[in-house]
Structure 1
Amino acid sequence: MLQRPLENEYPEYYVPYVNLVSDGDLLSNLQENLDATIALFEGISEEDGHFRYSTSKWSIKEVLVHMADTERIMAYRLLRIGRGDQTPLAGFNENDYINDSQFDQLPIKNIIEDFAAVRKATITLIQNMPEEAWLKKGFANAKEITTRAIAFIIAGHTIHHCNIINERYLPALK
């Protein structure tokens, strides 16, 4: 079972994400989170997918696109660092990714399927990562990070955004 990373294994700004991940088997957590995320977003209509609880905030569909994009990037980082690649990895601006996503042309159903495919690939990547890879260190966005920290950040990032959907978006739609 993959152990929770120590706080010195990742930048401080990831602490809230890692803290959201419950103790126990990370792979089970990722699968349960996938199921819960699919159920959450399948309950949102196409029209409501365009809803923003504030003009400066992303729409529900944009949040889901962001979740998939970020997981792709983080899984790539996990792969590179886990395989011992010491090449520093660039950061990314999530707003640029949203601006160029053309999310509004995609049905929410397609975005859900995309997220599910990314999560399934993340799960198999983690399942097949050798034990010795988990403590490997690399640099992403000019900050040192371990492979296992990235795995927990992936899980926590999704929980974070699902919580925001439940706490800020859905109550405003009622």
Structure 2
Amino acid sequence: MFKKPALEMFPEYTRGYIKLVPEGDITNILAEQLETTYKLLSKVTEVQANYRYGEGKWTLSEVLGHLTDTERIMSYRILRIARGDTTPLMGFDENEFVKRATFYTRTMTDLLEDYQNVRRATISLLKGLPQKSLLIMSKANGYDVSVETIAYMISGHELHHLKIIKEKYLLSGS
């Protein structure tokens, strides 16, 4: 069973995200998030999906695509570290990923399906890990992290973006 690690276990730049994650088993938290996020974003129109709240800001569809891409990368890191691979894992430039992804060519329904599939795969991966692998440490993006830490980072990252979605995209009159 997963237990939220102490804040000191997280890289400094992620601690704001992690503070948003409630206590509890991360697999349950991620499953609840899946339902909440889907419910919130399934009501979004294509006009809303293509809305930018400011110059140079991502559209709502790009934010959802970013969440999905980031979770894919984090899950890959979990797999590598849990299986004992100690090769340092590189970071990624989220702005370049979004720029090259062409999320604007996909419908919100398609992006939501992709998000759901990735989240279900993450939960399945986490549920299949032996307890002893949760605390295995390795380097990712230049920081020492554990499998457990990355799982909570996935949740916190999404909670951070959901707050922005609610404040900037869905309540802005778009």
TM over 0.5: yes
2:154 aligned counterpart, secondary structure:
helix
Using structure 2 for the length normalisation, give the TM-score.
Answer: 0.97
Using structure 1 for the length normalisation, give the TM-score.
Answer: 0.97
Shift of 1:156: 1.0
The C-alpha deviation readout for 1:65-118, integer Å capped at 9, x for no partner, is 000000000000011111110000010000111011111110110000000000
- What is the letter of the counterpart of residue 165 of structure 2? I
> Structure 1 CA distance, aligned partners of 2:132 and 2:114?
30
Question: How many residue pairs were aligned?
Answer: 174
* 1:54 paired residue number: 54
* 1:66 paired residue number: 66
- What is the letter of the counterpart of residue 74 of structure 2? M
> Structure 1 CA distance, aligned partners of 2:25 and 2:91?
29
Shift of 1:172: 0.9
> Structure 1 CA distance, aligned partners of 2:146 and 2:9?
6
Shift of 1:173: 2.2
> Structure 1 CA distance, aligned partners of 2:27 and 2:7?
21
Kindly report which structure 2 residues correspond to 1:64-143, keeping only aligned pairs within 5 A, or say none.
Answer: 64-143=64-143
* 2:35 paired residue number: 35
Shift of 1:19: 1.2
Supply the RMSD in Å over aligned alpha carbons: 1.0
Structure 1, unaligned runs of 5 or more: none
> Structure 2 CA distance, aligned partners of 1:136 and 1:3?
14
* 2:163 paired residue number: 163
Shift of 1:7: 2.8
> Within the alignment, does 1:5 sit opposite 2:5 as a pair?
yes
Contact 2:137 2:145 in 1 (8 A): yes
Shift of 1:6: 2.2
1:48 aligned counterpart, secondary structure:
helix
* 2:173 paired residue number: 173
* 1:145 paired residue number: 145
Shift of 1:17: 1.5
* Runs of 4+ residues over 6 Å off in structure 1: none
The C-alpha deviation readout for 1:34-61, integer Å capped at 9, x for no partner, is 0011111111101110001111211000
> Structure 1 CA distance, aligned partners of 2:94 and 2:69?
8
Percent identical pairs in the alignment equals: 40
Structure 2, unaligned runs of 5 or more: none
1:173 aligned counterpart, secondary structure:
coil
